[in-house]
Amino acid sequence: MLDEATDKVMKRQPGFVSANIHRSLSGKHVANYAQWRSKEDFEAMQRNPECKEHMMAAGKLAEKFEPELYAVASVHD
């Protein structure tokens, strides 16, 4: 569901940079690490009705759905 929402909707939103969807080896947990150009772009995406629809559908599948904003503290290559 997250792959489809990312391909069809999220990556077409202004400010979208990338998304990395991680599945735990147990198959019980999923993390979506998405990058946006700015906090404002992320907030605009959250107000978009089409994006809201996909986020709500994904949230209904989860026991816990906790979106959180982060700032890059450091990068190690």
Look up the CATH number of the domain holding residue 55: 3.30.70.100
Whether residue 25 lies inside any domain: the answer is yes
Q: Are 21 and 3 in contact (CB under 8 A)?
A: yes
Number of domains in the chain: 1
* 7, pLDDT greater than 90: yes
Q: What is the mean pLDDT of the chain?
A: 93
Whether residue 33 lies inside any domain: the answer is yes
The boundaries of the domain holding residue 17 are 2-61
Whether residue 13 lies inside any domain: the answer is yes
For the stretch 50-59, pLDDT in tens is: 999 998 998 8
Whether residue 34 lies inside any domain: the answer is yes
Whether residue 73 lies inside any domain: the answer is no
Backbone phi and psi for residue 25, each to the nearest 5 degrees, phi listed first: -65, -25
